[in-house]
Amino acid sequence: MENKNTYKESEIDNLIISYFTEKLGKREVDLLREWVQRSDENKKYFNNLQEIWIASLDPDKSKEYDKDDAYERFLLRITNNETTIKDKKTRLLRLLLYGVASVIFILLISYASYWQGSEHLKSQFADVVIEAPLGSKTKMYLPDGTLVWLNADSKITYSQGFGVNNRKIHLVGEGYFEVTNNEKLPFLVRTDELHTDVIGTKFNIRNYPEEEEASVSLLEGKVLVKNTLKNNDKVCLSPDQKVFLNKKSGEMRVSKVNARYTMEWTNGYLFFDEELLVDIAKELERSYNVKIVLLDKSLESFRFYGNFIRREQTIDEIMILLESTGKIKYEKDGRNIKLSSK
């Protein structure tokens, strides 16, 4: 870390701590931004402390985010030596990783304008991006204690101010959420076509860019879902309801479901409940690293109900089951699969 010129190491630590606890003025934020941008080593140091700060938020307690309590625990962590910092980083990774899933924290330096007073965290120069790669899933806790599972090829992005003056995240792909209750800070999940607002609840959101449908299903509580494609049309879901959005037409429909099944992917299952075959094909591609082509356009409207165990069933076994419906036949050549109508 650079500390020979303008700043001493202790001064930088104080700036970073004050930044995390929303105590910096505009001048200090600018100074910290300039220091972070000065070298890759500085960026890495800042990112390490950011991860330790997130880890200090005690994910095992279902309570509202306590900034002062987190601050005290954070102080205890950064007073340790560099080896301890590395140990804490390893602990954080153990907390966030599930199986072979990868969690990637990306420090993004932006030049957004500074908002005075308590609003300044809305214009951060550091966002956190967490990704689950193909063929795996990721379990994590957000700074407010909310449990999140990310399915394969999914990611969430949130500002460093998350849990302080907002609880807004952006989701690409599929995520399951158990949200910590906080009536003063509603939990907001944004995707390109659907906005979901909650206070405290359990729900699943699926919206992969390449799929024709997006959906939200509710296990507990209540959520408000807004359709950004059609005048922000709204639907309020009750438990065991699922809303489907056709991303081509912009139409929404609500179905009664056993919502528990929509989150079974977190337990290693592939559960398809009234899913379009074209979307099922995409899910199988992500899960088994294959390429599936639908040869007949009529197959795109075919819906399928099925339950598979990803760890125990091969792609060939799943294809045989699909073929047993009497509507589909398949051809497989290596990792390439072609589906056609019978």
Question: CATH number for the domain including 279?
Answer: 3.55.50.30
Whether 202 shows a pLDDT value over 80: the answer reads: yes
Residue 22, pLDDT score: 63
Give buried/exposed letters for 35-59 (b at 16+ CB in 10 A, else e): bbeeeeebbebbbbbbbbbbbbbeb
Pairing mode, strands 147-150 and 168-178: antiparallel
Mean pLDDT, to the nearest integer, of 242-269?
Answer: 91
Domain membership flag for residue 178: no
Torsion sign across C-alpha atoms 109, 190, 51, 106: negative
Nearest to 128 by CA among 229, 46, 41: 46
Looking at every residue in the chain, the average pLDDT score rounds to 76
274 found inside a domain: yes
- Rounded to 5°, the CA angle 37-41-42 comes to 45
| Residue 1 reports pLDDT greater than 50 | no
* 3-class SS of residue 202: strand
pLDDT at 298 over 60: yes
Residue 106: band (very low, low, confident or very high) from pLDDT cuts 50, 70, 90: very low
Q: What are phi and psi of 272, to 5 degrees?
A: -110, 115
Residue-level pLDDT at 26 = 74
Q: How far is CA 294 from CA 181, 191, 326, in A?
A: 44, 27, 16
3-state DSSP helix/strand/coil percent for the chain, to nearest 5?
30, 30, 35
* pLDDT tens digits, 180-193: 988 888 999 999 99
In a domain, 175, yes or no: no
State yes or no: pLDDT of 245 exceeds 90. Answer: yes
Confidence at 207, pLDDT banded by 50, 70, 90: very high
With respect to residue 28, please indicate whether it lies within any of the assigned structural domains.
no
Calculate the alpha carbon distances from 255 to 166, 224, 240, 248, 274 in Å. 31, 15, 9, 19, 10
pLDDT at 59 over 70: no
The residue among 306 and 239 whose pLDDT is bigger is 239
Residue 142 CB neighbours (<10 A): 24
Taking the C-alpha atoms of residue 161 and residue 169, their distance in angstroms, rounded to an integer, is 11
The span from the CA of 102 to the CA of 140, in Å, is 11
Looking at residue 120, what DSSP letter applies? Answer: G
In a domain, 322, yes or no: yes
Contacts with 147 (C-beta within 8 Å, 6 or more apart), sequence order = 59, 139, 140, 141, 177, 178
- 115 belongs to a structural domain: no
> Got the DSSP string for 45-99?
HHHHHHHHHHHTT-TTS-S---HHHHHHHHHHHHTS-HHHHHHHHHHHHHHH--T
The mean pLDDT value for 205-217 works out to 93
- Read off the pLDDT of residues 258-276 as tens digits, 9 standing for 90 and up: 998 888 889 888 888 778 8
Distance CA 28, CA 18 (A): 9
d(CA 290, CA 318): 13
Q: Is the pLDDT of residue 337 over 90?
A: yes
In this prediction, residue 201 carries a pLDDT of 92
Q: Which of 102-116, 144-158, 292-306 has the lowest mean pLDDT?
A: 102-116
Q: Give the mean model confidence (pLDDT) for residues 9-33.
A: 74
Q: At 325, is the pLDDT very low, low, confident or very high (cuts 50, 70, 90)?
A: confident
Task: Quote the tokens at residue 311.
Answer: 């760890």
Q: Is the pLDDT of residue 197 over 60?
A: yes
Instruction: Give me the percent of the chain exceeding a pLDDT of 70.
Output: 73
The amino acid at residue 322 is L
Min mean pLDDT across 114-118, 123-127, 178-182, 249-253 is at: 114-118
Which pLDDT does position 122 carry in this prediction?
A: 41
Residues spanned by the domain of 280: 268-342
Q: What is the pLDDT of residue 221?
A: 94
Residue 92 amino acid letter: L
**Nearest-angstrom CA–CA distance, 229 and 245:** 9
Task: Give the chain's domain count.
Answer: 1
Residue 33 lies in a domain: no
- The answer as to whether 255 is a domain residue is no
The percent of residues above 90 in pLDDT, for the chain, comes to: 31
pLDDT of 232: 80
Highest mean pLDDT among 27-36, 65-74, 214-223: 214-223
pLDDT confidence tier of residue 107, bands split at 50, 70 and 90? very low
